[in-house]
Amino acid sequence: MLGLDLTDKLVVAVGGGPVSTGRVGDLVARGARVRVISPQLSAGLHELVDAGRLDWVARPYAGPPDLLDAWLVHTATGDGAVDGAVAADATTYRIWCINASAADEGTARTPARASVPTPDGPVEVAVTASGDPRRAGAVRRQIEASLSRGDMDLRRRRARPGTGWVALVGGGPGAEGLLTLRGRQLLACADVVVVDRLAPRGVLAQLPEDVRVVDVGKDVGFHAVPQERINQILVDEALAGHGVVRLKGGDPYVLGRGGEERLACEAAAVPVEVVAGVTSAISVPAAAGIPVTHRGLARSFTVVTGHDQVPSLPTGADHTLVVLMGVARLRDTVAAMIAAGRSADCPAAVVERGLLPGQRTTVAKLGELADRAAEVGARSPAVVVIGSVVTMAPEWSRQASSLSSTVSSPSPLSSNPGSAPPLSAPAPPEDR
């Protein structure tokens, strides 16, 4: 089986029906110069003509002169005799020909193809099955699904001729199932993975052994690697010709400093892609049964990282506040909210380890939240939610009659959270 580079090469397609539409569209996308010979065209081919992406000869096939200068011929008129004549003429003039009416009578075959885009160019797999296109198509779909999931090692084996690339991948709250397909594809292409503490670390064990993992995780009160150094690691690895995935918790652009990393790459002329992730600001409350908006309760929400911004935010319970990295400074944040005008009776919750084993929800009135969190030993990673929407949480319903004297119980998945960090300690700058 051969792969043909048809970029800027003439391909003649005889026939303007649905079979030609799919094949011609693919050829045009691959950069071929396509001429269609047919009295009529499908709507799809008309669109390509109107866009100036192919030439149309509006008449039936007229013999060998129609094939002049072609590198490849595709015939699909729906008339076996005409398609056979086109195939015979192409063979006479030593032009490869795909005969859609009778594949075994042409000199070329169209395989079922699977493809996945990568920073180093698409990886494509062609499948044939002894003249059985439906069988080939079924196999192709399975291969394509595996490629899309990142199940296969897609790394470049030949040295890159110049600079490598960087992908800033949002890994979600930490559960592997919330990593996007594009994120998995890029991990399958990576030579180096630079990982955060709150990223879905379980996927690291699935990487080939020779993929280098650089741990730059931050913890409460301790930044192992400063952000400026992380930026430099990404740039240096890419300039060394490596494919680099920066695997982050949450979404790179939601309090994840992804913008800084992207700008550092762009300043060094390093190709960079940003892959959105599932942000914990929405997904972790959802895991606890708390929608950030709900008709009749809240129509808007704000995501913040600490108490400094609180005085300028809406104070009504119908505006949801989501605080990321807020457990360490929770007492100060609560005091600032109440001082700014939010009611001490406003429903509030702390959701720890959202979507992970040991997830736990603690609910209380806002004025009592810091005490409740201290009692249960709440600790990062956690998301704080304040507003009427907290009443949607099953934990709130279970404790509605005793919120002033009872704290929430761990969920069946809970594990001992250990001791809590000091409530005045600085918080780690990660999307959690």
Question: pLDDT in tens for each of the 432 residues of the chain?
Answer: 577 899 999 999 999 999 999 899 989 998 999 999 999 999 999 999 999 999 999 999 999 999 999 999 999 999 999 999 999 999 999 999 999 888 677 899 888 888 889 999 989 898 988 878 789 899 999 999 999 889 999 999 988 888 999 999 999 999 999 999 999 999 999 999 999 999 999 999 999 999 999 999 865 555 578 999 999 999 999 999 999 999 999 999 999 999 999 999 999 999 999 999 999 999 999 999 999 999 999 999 999 987 677 888 999 999 999 999 999 999 999 999 999 999 999 999 999 999 999 999 999 999 999 999 999 999 999 999 999 999 999 999 888 666 644 433 334 333 333 333 333 333 444 444
SS3 (DSSP) at 323: strand
The residue annotated as part of the active site, out of 83, 89, 191, 218, is 218
Q: Which CATH number is 197's domain given?
A: 3.40.1010.10
- Same domain for 356 and 323, yes or no, is yes
Around Cβ 262, how many Cβ atoms within 10 Å?
A: 21
- Same domain for 124 and 59, yes or no, is no
- Can you give the C-alpha Rg of the chain in angstroms? 29
pTM for the model: 0.78
**Alpha helices (H) along 129-257:** 133-148, 181-189, 227-239
Give the H/E segment covering residue 304. strand 300-304
Dihedral of alpha carbons 408, 414, 420, 423, sign: negative
Q: What is the pLDDT of residue 4?
A: 86
- Same domain for 268 and 319, yes or no, is no
Tell me, yes or no, whether 180 lies in a domain: yes
Cβ-contact 348, 369 below 8 angstroms: yes
Q: What is the pLDDT of residue 191?
A: 97
- Same domain for 80 and 174, yes or no, is no
The residue annotated as part of the active site, out of 196, 248, 251, 431, is 196
Tell me, yes or no, whether 257 lies in a domain: yes
Q: What is the pLDDT of residue 409?
A: 38
- Same domain for 121 and 218, yes or no, is no
The CA dihedral of 283, 380, 257, 348, to the nearest 10 degrees, is 50
Q: What is the pLDDT of residue 424?
A: 34
Contacts 24+ apart (CB under 8 A), 33-38: 33/8, 33/9, 34/10, 35/10, 35/11, 35/70, 37/12, 37/13, 37/61, 37/62, 37/66, 38/14, 38/77
Give the H/E segment covering residue 332. helix 330-339
β-sheet with 347-352: strand ranges across: 300-304, 319-324, 382-386, 347-352, 360-365
Q: What is the pLDDT of residue 219?
A: 58
Bridge partners (DSSP) of residue 213 are 193
Q: What is the pLDDT of residue 341?
A: 95
Q: What is the pLDDT of residue 148?
A: 85
How far, in Å, are 11, 219, 263, 267, 280 from residue 260 at the CA level? 46, 20, 5, 11, 20
- Same domain for 291 and 242, yes or no, is no
Tell me, yes or no, whether 410 lies in a domain: no
Tell me, yes or no, whether 157 lies in a domain: no
Q: What is the pLDDT of residue 403?
A: 64
210 included as an active-site residue: no
Bridge partners (DSSP) of residue 34 are 11
Alpha-carbon gap, residue 215 to 147, rounded angstroms: 26
132 included as an active-site residue: no
- Same domain for 5 and 50, yes or no, is yes
Number of domains, the chain:
4
- Same domain for 270 and 193, yes or no, is yes
Burial annotation 146-175 (CB, 10 A radius, 16+ → b, else e): ebeebeeebbbeeebeebbbbbbbbbbbbb
Q: Which CATH number is 41's domain given?
A: 3.40.50.720
Tell me, yes or no, whether 153 lies in a domain: no
Q: In which domain, by residue range, is 350 found? A: 281-399
